[in-house]
C-alpha cells in the first residue's frame, strides 16, 4: 500500500462490486446478465490497487473489455469506477466518441447511479473552450461596426471568401442579410441574452446554432485568452464551467478533448484519476487526427495583417519587437507562394482536374520542394517567437497592473486571432521536414468545393499506437477501455496494436458475450450477385436490383447501409414511386428529424426504410419493429485513396508485411460488427441482416470477418433460393 491508500477499506474490489449490486437491485425490471457481472468484477479486481499520484514505482492497470450489445456496460463501469474513486477520494473521467452517449450518461445513467449510491457525488460535462463565448470579445462587437469589429470579422476572411457561394444561399425561411449586419445582429442578441440571464454562454444551449464563422469570432479560444488576468475572468462562461468541473467527482468528456488536453490541466492529471474510454474503438483515429497538421497555401491575406497587428500592439504597449516582423511576414508569404506554385505545377502534372490529392511515396519530398518548406519553417518560427514574446509581455503587465488588464486582454485577443494560422505553418512545415521512421504521410490537396481553388499541405503520423503509447498510456494509472467492437476476426490483437496497448504488462482483456440469442433471434443472409464487387458499376446495378426487390417486402422498419454516396444515389435513383414514399435518405434532413419521421411511420403501421452511410452504421438504436432488417450493400472497406492508409500500407509492404491482412481486413471486420449490430437491440427483437457482398462467404478474409460477428444463423441466397450453412 502507498501512502495514498492508507485508511481505505481493506478490500476496495468488494466495495466496487457492492456498488454494482446496489445498482442492479435498484434497476426496475432488471434481468440477470452474466456478462455485466463479469465486466464489473474484472474492473473491480483490475483497478482496486492501482497507485495514484506521484509515486516512485507506481502500479498501473488497463483493462480492455469488449461488451456485446445488451450487456449494460455503462452501469457496470460507472458503478465500479465511481465507487472506487469515491473511496479513494479521487475522480473518474469518462470519455466517449459521440454526443449521443454523452447525453445518455449525463441525463440517464449518472443520475440513476447518484440516486442509488450511499455516498453523494457530483458529475459534470467537460467541453472544449471554443464551445463557450468570450465576453470580452462580445463586448467589443456589440452595437459596433467600427474598425475593431471589422478587424475581428476579417480575421479569417480567406475562409469566409471561400465559403461565400454557399453562404450566399440563405436557409429556407431565412431572409438574406449582409454578413456584417447578420453578425452584428447576432452579437447584440447574444449580449442581451447574457445580460438578462437567459443564456449561460454555452453555444450548445442556444436554441439556434450560429454559423461557424460567426461563432469563431466570439469563441473563447486559448490563443486569445489571458485567463485570470482578463477583467471578465470572474464571470467567464468557460472558467465558470471549469470551476464546476473542479467540484465534480465524475467528468464526462470526449476522446478529442482528452487527447487535446494532455499536459494542459484542463482535465484531472491522468496519473491521479481513473479513466474510462467508452466507444474505445475510435481512439486510434482520434489520435491520428490530434497529431496531424495542415496549412493553407492559398489564403494568405492574414500575412498582410499580421505585422500590422504586431507593430500596432507593440507600439500601444511601448514594447520593442526584436524581430523585423514586416520583412519576416513578407518572406513567409513569398515562401508559401513558392510552395503553392510548385504544388500547382506538380498537381497539373498528375491530373487534369482541380480536385486532387497527391501523396509523396514513403513520405519523401523532393529536395527542390523542401526548400520553400525550410524557409516557411524558419520565418514562421521567428514570427511565432515575436508573437509569443509580445503575448507574454501583455500577460505580465495585466498581472502587475490590474488597471491595464482590459486593455492588455483586448490586445492579447488581437494577437491570438493570428496564432492558429501561424501555428499551423510551424507545425506542418516541421512535419514535412521530418524524416523519421516510420515516415509521416505527406500530401498536397487541391479542393474546389467552396467555389474557389484552395490548396493545402498536410502531414500525419501513420502509426496511432505509437502516439497513444507515448502520449497517453505512459501517464495513465487506472483505465477501462470498452466498446461493443474491440475484437475483430475473433481476436483483440488488432485493437491492442492500433491503440499501443499490445505487450504492455499492465493490460488485460476480456470479451463479454451479449445476452441476446443470435441464433434464434437473428439471421444473416449473404445474397450472391453474379458480378464481383470489384466490378463496381456492374455490381452496383445488380446489387440495387436485388435490394429494391427486398425493399418491396419490408413491412415495418429497415436500414440500408451503403459504402459510398455514389452507391446510395444509384439506389435512390432506381426507386419507383411506391418505394420513394417509403425511403428516408441521410442528408435530406437533420438526423433527429429523419429518425423521428421513421419512428412515427413505423408506429403508425407503415413501412419505413432509412438509407444511410458510415455514420448511420454505428450508434443508431432502432429496437423492435423500427429495424427488422439491416441491408448491407457491400463490405465496408475504407476508400483506397485515403492518404494516411496508403502511406501506412506502403510502409508495411516495404517491411515485408501484408497490409491487407494486417490492417484492411481487421478494420473492415470492426465496421462490419458495428453495422450488423444495428439489427438486434433487445432480448425480444427478431431481425435479420442481408449482405449483398458474396465475398463474406466466398473468400478466406470474408470468413475471417465472419468469425468476429455474433453467432447468427447464416445462410446463402443464390438466385432467390436460400441454403443454410
For residue 158, being part of any structural domain is answered with no
The mean of the pLDDT values for the chain is 90
One domain for residues 495 and 595: no
The answer, yes or no, to whether residue 721 has pLDDT greater than 70, is no
One domain for residues 441 and 535: no
**348-362, 426-440, 660-674: which range is least confident on average?**
348-362
Number of domain units in the chain:
3
The model's pLDDT over 606-661, given as tens digits with 9 standing for 90+, comes to 999 999 999 999 988 999 999 999 999 999 998 878 899 999 999 999 999 999 99
One domain for residues 567 and 656: yes
Q: Which has more confidence, 449 or 692?
A: 692
For residue 14, being part of any structural domain is answered with yes
Query: What residues make up the domain containing 36?
Result: 8-122+248-288+465-512
For residue 165, being part of any structural domain is answered with no
For residue 524, being part of any structural domain is answered with yes
One domain for residues 449 and 571: no
Q: Which has more confidence, 169 or 618?
A: 618
Q: Per the structure block, which three cell numbers stand in for 452?
A: 474557389
Average pLDDT over residues 467-484: 96
The answer, yes or no, to whether residue 53 has pLDDT greater than 60, is yes
Percent of the chain with pLDDT over 70: 93
One domain for residues 284 and 417: no
What CATH number does the domain containing 84 carry?
A: 3.40.50.300
| Residue that has been written with the C-alpha cell 438504436 in this structure | 621
Percent of the chain with pLDDT over 90: 77
The model's pLDDT over 668-682, given as tens digits with 9 standing for 90+, comes to 999 999 999 999 999
**164-173, 315-324, 447-456, 663-672: which range is least confident on average?**
164-173
The answer, yes or no, to whether residue 479 has pLDDT greater than 90, is yes
Name which of 468, 457, 442 is nearest 650 in CA terms.
442
pLDDT at residue 152, rounded to an integer: 53
One domain for residues 500 and 522: no
Q: Residue 557: beta bridge partners?
A: 608
Quickly list DSSP for 21-62. HHHHHHSTT----HHHHHHHHHHHHHHTT---SS-SS---EE
One domain for residues 674 and 715: yes
One domain for residues 394 and 413: yes
How far is the C-alpha of 565 from the C-alpha of 586, rounded, in Å?
10
The model's pLDDT over 409-421, given as tens digits with 9 standing for 90+, comes to 989 989 998 999 9
Q: Which has more confidence, 265 or 116?
A: 116
DSSP secondary structure letter of residue 446: E
Name which of 125, 127, 126, 128 is nearest 221 in CA terms.
128
How far is the C-alpha of 68 from the C-alpha of 584, rounded, in Å?
28
One domain for residues 526 and 540: yes
Contact 502, 64 (CB under 8 A): no
Quickly list DSSP for 621-661. ---GGGGSEEEE-S--PPPTT-HHHHHHHHHHHHTT--HII
For residue 196, being part of any structural domain is answered with no
The model's pLDDT over 127-152, given as tens digits with 9 standing for 90+, comes to 999 999 999 889 888 865 444 555 55
Contact 706, 714 (CB under 8 A): yes
- Local confidence band at 351 (pLDDT 50, 70, 90 cut-offs): confident
Residues 142, 143, 145, 149, Cα dihedral to 10°: -10
One domain for residues 450 and 365: yes
Which residues are CB-neighbours of 316 under 8 A, at least 6 positions away?
407, 411
For residue 431, being part of any structural domain is answered with yes
pLDDT at residue 207, rounded to an integer: 87
For residue 379, being part of any structural domain is answered with yes
The answer, yes or no, to whether residue 156 has pLDDT greater than 60, is no
How far is the C-alpha of 365 from the C-alpha of 362, rounded, in Å?
9
One domain for residues 558 and 496: no
Which residues are CB-neighbours of 85 under 8 A, at least 6 positions away?
91, 92, 249, 250, 273, 274
One domain for residues 589 and 604: yes
Identify the domain boundary among 476, 497, 512: 512
Q: Where are the beta strands (DSSP E) in 463-607?
A: 478-483, 507-512, 522-527, 557-561, 583-585
For residue 384, being part of any structural domain is answered with yes
Average pLDDT over residues 319-327: 94
How far is the C-alpha of 355 from the C-alpha of 448, rounded, in Å?
6
pLDDT at residue 712, rounded to an integer: 95
Average pLDDT over residues 38-62: 94
Alpha helices in 518-590 (DSSP H): 518-521, 536-551, 565-573, 577-580
Amino acid at each position: 500500500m502507498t501512502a495514498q491508500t492508507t485508511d481505505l477499506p481493506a478490500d476496495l474490489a468488494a466495495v466496487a462490486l457492492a456498488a454494482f449490486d446496489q445498482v442492479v437491485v435498484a434497476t426496475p425490471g432488471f434481468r440477470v446478465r452474466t456478462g455485466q457481472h463479469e465486466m464489473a468484477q474484472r474492473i473491480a479486481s483490475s483497478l482496486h490497487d492501482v497507485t495514484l499520484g506521484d509515486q516512485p514505482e507506481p502500479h498501473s492497470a488497463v483493462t480492455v473489455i469488449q461488451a456485446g450489445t445488451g450487456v449494460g456496460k455503462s452501469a457496470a463501469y460507472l458503478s465500479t469506477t465511481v465507487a472506487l474513486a469515491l473511496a479513494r477520494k479521487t475522480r473518474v473521467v469518462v470519455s466517449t466518441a459521440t454526443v449521443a452517449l454523452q447525453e445518455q450518461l449525463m441525463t440517464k445513467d449518472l443520475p440513476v447511479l447518484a440516486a442509488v449510491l450511499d455516498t453523494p457525488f457530483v458529475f459534470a460535462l467537460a467541453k472544449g473552450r471554443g464551445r463557450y463565448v468570450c465576453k470580452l470579445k462580445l463586448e467589443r462587437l456589440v452595437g459596433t461596426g467600427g474598425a475593431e469589429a471589422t478587424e475581428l470579422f476579417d480575421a479569417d476572411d480567406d475562409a469566409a471568401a471561400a465559403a461565400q457561394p454557399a453562404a450566399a444561399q440563405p436557409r429556407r425561411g431565412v431572409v438574406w442579410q449582409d454578413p456584417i449586419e447578420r453578425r452584428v445582429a447576432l452579437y447584440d442578441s447574444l449580449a442581451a441574452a447574457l445580460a438578462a440571464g437567459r443564456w449561460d454562454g454555452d453555444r450548445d444551449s442556444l436554441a439556434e446554432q450560429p454559423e461557424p464563422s460567426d461563432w469563431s469570432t466570439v469563441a473563447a479560444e486559448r490563443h486569445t485568452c489571458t485567463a485570470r488576468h482578463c477583467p471578465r475572468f470572474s464571470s467567464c462562461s468557460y472558467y465558470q464551467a471549469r470551476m464546476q468541473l473542479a467540484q465534480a467527482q465524475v467528468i464526462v468528456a470526449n476522446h478529442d478533448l482528452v487527447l487535446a488536453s494532455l499536459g494542459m490541466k484542463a482535465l484531472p492529471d491522468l496519473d491521479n484519476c481513473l479513466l474510462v474510454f467508452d466507444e474505445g474503438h475510435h481512439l486510434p483515429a482520434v489520435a491520428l487526427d490530434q497529431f496531424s497538421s495542415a496549412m493553407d497555401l492559398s489564403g494568405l491575406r492574414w500575412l498582410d495583417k499580421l505585422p500590422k497587428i504586431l507593430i500596432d500592439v507593440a507600439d500601444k504597449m511601448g514594447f520593442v519587437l526584436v524581430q523585423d516582423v514586416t520583412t519576416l511576414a513578407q518572406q513567409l508569404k513569398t515562401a508559401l507562394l513558392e510552395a503553392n506554385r510548385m504544388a500547382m505545377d506538380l498537381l497539373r502534372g498528375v491530373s487534369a482536374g482541380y480536385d486532387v490529392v497527391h501523396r509523396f511515396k514513403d513520405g519523401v519530398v523532393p529536395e527542390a520542394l523542401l526548400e520553400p518548406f525550410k524557409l516557411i519553417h524558419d520565418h514562421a518560427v521567428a514570427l511565432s517567437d515575436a508573437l509569443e514574446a509580445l503575448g507574454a509581455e501583455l500577460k505580465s503587465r495585466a498581472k502587475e497592473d490590474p488597471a491595464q488588464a482590459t486593455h492588455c486582454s483586448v490586445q492579447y485577443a488581437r494577437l491570438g486571432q493570428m496564432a492558429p494560422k501561424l501555428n499551423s505553418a510551424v507545425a506542418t512545415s516541421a512535419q514535412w521536414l521530418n524524416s523519421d521512421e516510420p515516415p509521416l504521410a505527406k500530401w498536397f490537396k487541391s479542393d474546389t468545393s467552396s467555389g474557389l481553388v484552395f490548396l493545402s499541405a498536410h502531414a500525419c503520423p501513420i502509426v496511432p499506437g505509437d502516439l497513444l503509447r507515448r502520449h497517453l498510456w505512459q501517464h495513465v494509472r487506472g483505465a477501462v477501455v470498452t466498446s461493443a467492437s474491440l475484437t475483430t476476426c475473433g481476436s483483440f490483437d488488432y485493437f491492442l496494436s492500433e491503440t499501443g496497448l499490445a505487450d504492455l504488462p499492465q493490460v488485460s482483456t476480456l470479451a463479454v458475450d451479449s445476452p441476446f440469442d443470435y441464433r434464434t433471434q437473428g439471421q444473416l443472409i449473404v445474397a450472391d450477385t453474379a458480378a464481383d464487387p470489384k466490378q463496381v458499376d456492374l455490381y452496383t446495378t445488380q446489387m440495387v436490383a436485388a435490394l429494391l426487390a427486398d425493399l418491396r417486402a419490408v413491412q415495418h422498419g429497415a436500414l440500408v447501409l451503403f459504402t459510398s454516396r455514389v452507391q446510395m444515389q444509384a439506389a435512390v435513383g432506381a426507386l419507383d414511386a411506391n418505394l420513394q414514399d417509403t425511403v428516408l435518405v441521410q442528408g435530406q434532413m437533420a438526423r433527429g428529424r429523419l429518425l423521428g419521421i421513421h419512428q412515427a411511420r413505423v408506429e403508425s403501421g407503415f413501412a419505413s426504410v432509412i438509407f444511410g452511410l458510415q455514420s448511420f452504421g454505428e450508434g443508431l438504436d432502432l429496437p423492435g419493429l423500427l429495424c427488422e432488417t439491416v441491408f448491407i450493400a457491400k463490405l465496408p472497406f475504407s476508400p483506397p485513396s485515403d492518404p494516411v492508409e496508403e502511406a501506412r500500407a506502403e510502409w508495411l509492404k516495404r517491411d515485408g508485411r501484408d497490409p491487407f491482412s494486417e490492417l484492411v481486413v481487421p478494420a473492415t471486420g470492426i465496421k462490419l460488427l458495428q453495422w450488423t449490430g444495428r439489427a438486434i437491440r433487445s432480448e425480444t427483437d427478431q431481425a435479420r441482416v442481408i449482405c449483398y457482398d458474396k465475398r463474406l462467404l466466398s473468400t478466406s478474409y470474408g470468413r475471417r470477418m465472419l468469425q468476429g460477428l455474433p453467432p447468427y444463423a447464416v445462410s446463402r441466397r443464390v438466385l432467390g433460393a436460400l441454403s443454410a450453412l
